[in-house]
Structure 1
Amino acid sequence: MDTDSSDTDTPLDDDHPDIPHLRFLRALVTVLAGVMIVGLLVLILLIVIRFREGGTTLPALPDAITLPEGAIAQAITAGPGWYMVVTDDGRALVYTADGELTGTTQLPLPE
């Protein structure tokens, strides 16, 4: 079998110097892999922390807002000068910043 020095299937010797661009590319790929692993670990950590806290607590309503008798808040949202509270019976209650009820809408409940 004739061995040619230009054969591309033969591995390089350990003392053969790398091409400078190849050395830079190898370092770049290694750094990218490390950044991706760290990023994935951070995402997993944030998800675990978020679910450990519960995430279902509603923000506190201002003291000026009083819900109707028997209504339990399911969702709360706020805008400039108004609050909207969605109750467990499917009503959307709109309040001013002073706590005055300005509108009520019955939302269709899914069956």
Structure 2
Amino acid sequence: MDETPKEPGAPDLRFIKALVTVLTIVMIGGVLTVAAALVIRLRAPSMPLPAEISLPGGARATALTQGEEWYAVVTDADEILIFDRLTGEIRQRVAIETAP
């Protein structure tokens, strides 16, 4: 009789080994997908800002953010000025209120 001793729980170990292999492949695919998405997103061209932005009343800019059709400047006078990207005119003014 040629019987080799079987490890206890051998079918369970094969199943766990297969699960670990599948998980590894899925994780590698996920990391590659996230990396590719970051590269694509960061390489996308953004609209250039104007060379000069004139702020009313001698205000100084403390922060800047932009959207596709606008850009916003936060001033040292606690005000947000939203400009139209094409015309450069102020679309909206938002006063920043300080918390009590």
Superposition TM-score, scaled by structure 1 size? 0.45
| Structure holding more helix per residue | 2
The higher radius of gyration belongs to: 1
